[in-house]
Copies of this chain bind each other. A is one copy, B any other.
């Protein structure tokens, strides 16, 4: 993560969406407003440090809206922004693609044949 800016947009998006959590968090937030503790309950394997870091990243990327309320006990709400909502069907599409291509994966992880053993010209 040297520089946030790169030549092509794909590199930039992937800096945000790469990793286990970003897409998962987007999925959980798809259901509506969530609080920090809610998201931890949704996915118990994420550490609180990671969760804050990832949420901040999604926030600065304009995907997640963070709303902090004054007073104790603390209360912070997370929502998808309109941009974040627009991203959901795109992630869905990739998810569907993955499921549809399961047979292709099965084939690919199978035999590794040498298809055209060529003779030197």
Contacts and interface: CB of A to CB of B under 8 A. Distances in A.
Interface residues of A, number: 54
Contacts of A119: 71
A66 to B, nearest CB: 8
A96 B9 CA distance: 8
A18 interface: yes
Q: With a 10 A CB-CB cut-off, give which of A8, A71, A90 has the most chain B CB atoms.
A: A90
A118 interface: yes
B60 A108 contact: yes
Interface of A: 8-15, 17-20, 23-24, 27, 59-62, 66-71, 81-83, 86-87, 90-91, 93-99, 101, 104-109, 112, 114-120
